[in-house]
Structures are given as C-alpha cells and as structure tokens.
Amino acid sequence: MRNILKFSVIAAFVATLPILASAQIVYNVVSVPGASPSLTAINNPGQVLANVGTSSSYNVSVWSRSAGFIGLDLIGINSGGSAMDDFGDVVGAGDPDNSGIQQAFFWQPATGVQWLGSLGGGLSAASGVNDDGAVVGLSYNGADFQHAFLWTAANGMQDLTPNLTSIGGATAVAINFSNQVAGYYYPNGSHNTLGFTWTQQGGEQDLGPAGTLALAINNAGTVVGQSPNTQLFKHAFSWTQVGGMSDLGTLGGSESTALGINNNGWIVGTSLTSKKTNILHAFLWTPAAGMQDLTVLAGIAKSLQIHSVQINDFGVIALSTNAGLSILSPKMFATVGSSANPSALGQSITLTATVSSIAGPPPDGEMVQFSVGGRVLGSAPLSGGVAQISTASIPVGPHVVTVTYVGDNNYLPSTYQPLKQVVNP
C-alpha cells in the first residue's frame, strides 16, 4: 500500500494521547516520543515515517519501537517524506541546494539519497513507492504544467499525463506491486478533479464523478479516496475494476475521506461524526464490520484533531493528531485450556494457549511462554494462533497459569492469567 501524505511544518513537542476506559478497546496506544509529526506512513516491519523539526525547518526520520528515531540526513533543509516501502526506502521531496525549489528524492538505507530530477520543469515531489523501488509523484514539465510521473531506476522519469495542460495539473499518489498507479488530475478546461488509475498496458482510466480524489491503492488494485455522492457530499470510497465505485459512508456526519488501504482490504481515513461539530474522527473500515470509530476501538479522546492515518498489513495504524504521533497496535487476547483440570500429581497435562486480535492471530512461529508461580514450565511456537506444551511438574494445589506472548515489531508483549489449574494429591 502506498498512500498520499500532505507536506506540512511540524511542531517540536509530543503529547501522550489520553486513554479512555472502554470495554470495546481492541487497540493498544503507543505514543511516539520526542516530536510532534503530522505526516506519517507505516510499513509491514512496523517502521513509521515521520517528518519532525521546528516551525522553520523540518526533516525526515524513521521511527521504530526498537530503535527510536533515525534521521535520514538529507542534504538541505525542509525535506518531507511521503511514503516508505517494506525495505525502509523512503520517498518525498526536499531542497538539496536550498534554492526554495523542491525536488523528488528516493532514499535507501544502504546507499543514501538519490534526487530524481523533473520532467523538464524545476519542481517535483514523490508521493509513493513500491517494494521494487518504483516511485510516483508530481513534476512540472518544460511548459510549466504539473504532470504525474512514474520513475524507475531502469527508465528514469516517465510522464503519465503528457497531454494535460490544465492549471491544476495531475498528481500520482500511490503505486502497487504491479506498477498500477493511482492519483487525480484536473481535466483540461475543468476546475474539478477526477481520480485515475494508470497501467503501462492500459494507460489512464478515470475514476468517479467530478471532484473525486484517488489517494491510495493496494496490491489487489483496490483504490480508495474521496468522491461526491449523489447529494454532493464528499464520502470515502473504494473502487475495483470489477465492482466500480462503492460509497463507504461516514461515522454519522456529512463527509469522510479514505486515506489508506492495506492488502487485506482494511481501509483507514477520517470522518465527521455529526452536523454539530467539525472535529474529524479517524475510522477503520473492514469488509466484515464496515466503518468503525477509532476513538472507540482504541479508547482515545474524541476531541483530538486528526492529521493523518495509515495502516499496514498487520492491522497496525499510525495516527497523527494535534497531540502528536501514536501507533495503534492490535491488542492480543488469550485463552488457555487444560487437558485435565483438576489433574493428579505427576499426571501429564497439555496446556493450550490461543492468541488472537482484531487483526487475527500473530504470525506463525512467534513464541508463547507458560509459567506457574513464577516458574517457567516451557515455551512453544504459535501456529494459527495456538501454542501447546505438556507438563507433569505442577505441584499439588491450586495454581494460576501465566501465559506470556513475547510480541514483535507490530504487536506488544502481553501477559495473561486466564487459567486456574488444580492439582490433587
């Protein structure tokens, strides 16, 4: 998934999101310390792209729970990252010679920054990248019109909208693994946008009515964004080649926007909740549950102003608000069963832990540890969310079985005490 992220100036502080009590909370909230970024992307290894800095200068950093912030050390000032692939490669725009003219860049951890040039004009900006290193964005051409581009290491920068002469121009915002591009443009003579997809084989295909913005695409070719409905209210949509446009609705207000989609078809974005307030709430939309309010799912304050929201394939959400940047990690829940309870002293029993979340179970092979009274009985790998050990070493008496899921880059470690095992003499 590759998503558009707006450039903006970043404040230099961070605040912890207020957590509210709720029986429906299915996400843990992890506050990102040390900065207040308003532009984010998240990849499948759990790295978060954040633009951090001051009111006069901002720069690009990658944050993870294990390493914290790592700066990209780009030449020049006022660089902004837009998207990141699963290898940690970052694209965006910067000012390499401090001339005031932004230029698209492609940064890789091993080789550093590569400036991508333009279509003949001065300014360019990259908005999306896939795992093959294909980059999309916008660039001015020699006639000073804004066009959408596709850049690859083999072919350089390709103009995707060569016949466009409109003032508003075109922007490519996202690209999937098959180099299918999504974006929007102003048709010649029009003051309203149209969404589009583009492939090398089929060229450009328009999406939706006038006023449509295509903002993200997944590997299945599903495009999401914002489009006017029949009452001319701007609603979040999803589009497929077979099914066409689908209105995703709102959280009760008049407008909504889909900002990101993962490869499981989960969509995130923002929505007004009523006609009485202009505060946007972040939403999660899934095929099974439809549109849900993240203030409920994560227990965060309803008064927060949302800047950006993105999601990876593990259901982890990067949420940027006026209180700073937070990561919403699916909360793991566990149940434990015993093959015999009560059991007899010396009897071998099998303890079974089942671990899952709103996003499903953790990846196969991750470990669960079983303990009784502070003594570790053993560990076992998860398979389909299930881990088992057999033991005959629990002493006589009632005992609480403690299960610990070790966690990973996306999911937090968790400890549970869901079973009381009784061992008779």
Q: Token digits for 198?
A: 């583009």
pLDDT at 10: 24
Rounded to whole angstroms, the Cα distance separating 371 from 416 reads 10
pLDDT at 99: 83
270-297 confidence digits (pLDDT tens): 999 986 777 899 999 999 999 999 999 9
Q: Helix, strand or coil for residue 391?
A: strand
Sorting pLDDT into bands at 50, 70 and 90, what band is 54? low
Asked: is 2-330 a CATH 2.120.10.30 domain? The reply is: yes
Closest CA to 259 of 90, 86, 40, 49: 40
| Residues facing 129 on adjacent strands | 135
Annotated domain spans of the chain:
2-330, 333-424
200-222 confidence digits (pLDDT tens): 999 999 999 999 999 999 999 99
178-191 confidence digits (pLDDT tens): 999 999 999 999 99
Rounded to whole angstroms, the Cα distance separating 166 from 189 reads 6
* 2-330 and 333-424: identical CATH topology: no
Rounded to whole angstroms, the Cα distance separating 266 from 273 reads 20
390-414 confidence digits (pLDDT tens): 999 999 999 999 999 999 999 999 9
Whether 12 and 35 have beta carbons less than 8 Å apart is answered as: yes
Average pLDDT value for residue range 134-156: 97
Preceding amide of 361 cis, omega within 30: no
Q: Helix, strand or coil for residue 113?
A: strand
Q: Look over the chain and give the mean of its residue pLDDT values, rounded to a whole number.
A: 90
Domain at 333-424, CATH class: mainly beta
Sequence length of the chain is 425
